[in-house]
Structure 1
């Protein structure tokens, strides 16, 4: 009887140890990823801040990257993935939804739906609409896709089929690839030259600022002096 109890105890302790080890590994990986994002000097850490001075509260922004970009810029922001906007959280994104927004700026992560490394080898490139189409790898009907992260860029491509003349596309380098696509409405609230100026600054040494410097310059006061 005592031997059975000992065996059960060993089994329970083994399961607990495995669970703790797995949880620690997952937490460690997530923490390392977060630290990597905080320490890297990727343009996206600074671009929203530099662009913010050219965006007013009425500017409409449809985006999939609702973190740093949405934090720094003004305007009316709509999350196409569905994590922050009720409409897309319930019904998902669609070309009709985007058309109803009539956004001044669309910012998407292409995930694995497109690749623009063959047409761009600089910090960023202006793309023609045929180049945007040629870079799309997944010609999947957005209606059959359930995963919001993949569905969102597909709905943007579909929306632009009838709006290609209305927007200027930019493919931007980030983390050794070109996952970021921006579409600026040509007659919208954001001047294309101002957009490019903010991009250029974000890739320059002059444009690299600390978090606290950016907060202070926008009128915030940090807890450190």
Structure 2
């Protein structure tokens, strides 16, 4: 069964939804369909000039998901232009960000426990970019910011299976979201199976900074492991 598609957030619904070649009746034209989130990806990347990471944050998806959405949108537009097709903009899996910020905020508030891979047991320690072989995890209870620590030393000495063992360890602690740098395929699968959401590419900052950025919505949930 395919994994359910994550909602893409767009700034607004398009006011113009149809383009056609001049002088050719509609009855004589084939159509190409561009999704609303595809149009948003084009706007962010090609009109606003945002990087993939910046644009992905706007749409609240992973960088890889944004890249796939953008590539599909560019292909659709190129096909319409090269083949002289009409272009219809409709459909997709999206929500208007301005109309539903409270829904996103409520989701963050309901996440009671987040675990950040860490080089030490405090909010001041640096994020460990490794998931499976991280030294440990600072577990933060939201919204009151009480913390606890999961020691992950046993997984660091394993020759194989460290990611799965670590995923099981954080799942037993009741963690609902993991923030880390690199989460491999097997670890990602184990976390997903346990119902734990994953935010990737978190590194080069302290645990406390990572938590604050998460609370501001700067880290999208990943829908695939790191490549």
- Which category describes the TM-score, using the shorter chain as reference length? under 0.3
Q: Which has the larger radius of gyration?
A: 1
Please identify which structure carries the higher helix content: 1
Tell me the TM-score normalised to structure 2 length: 0.22
Q: Which has the higher contact order (CA 8 A, sep 6+)?
A: 1
- For normalisation by structure 1, the TM-score amounts to 0.22
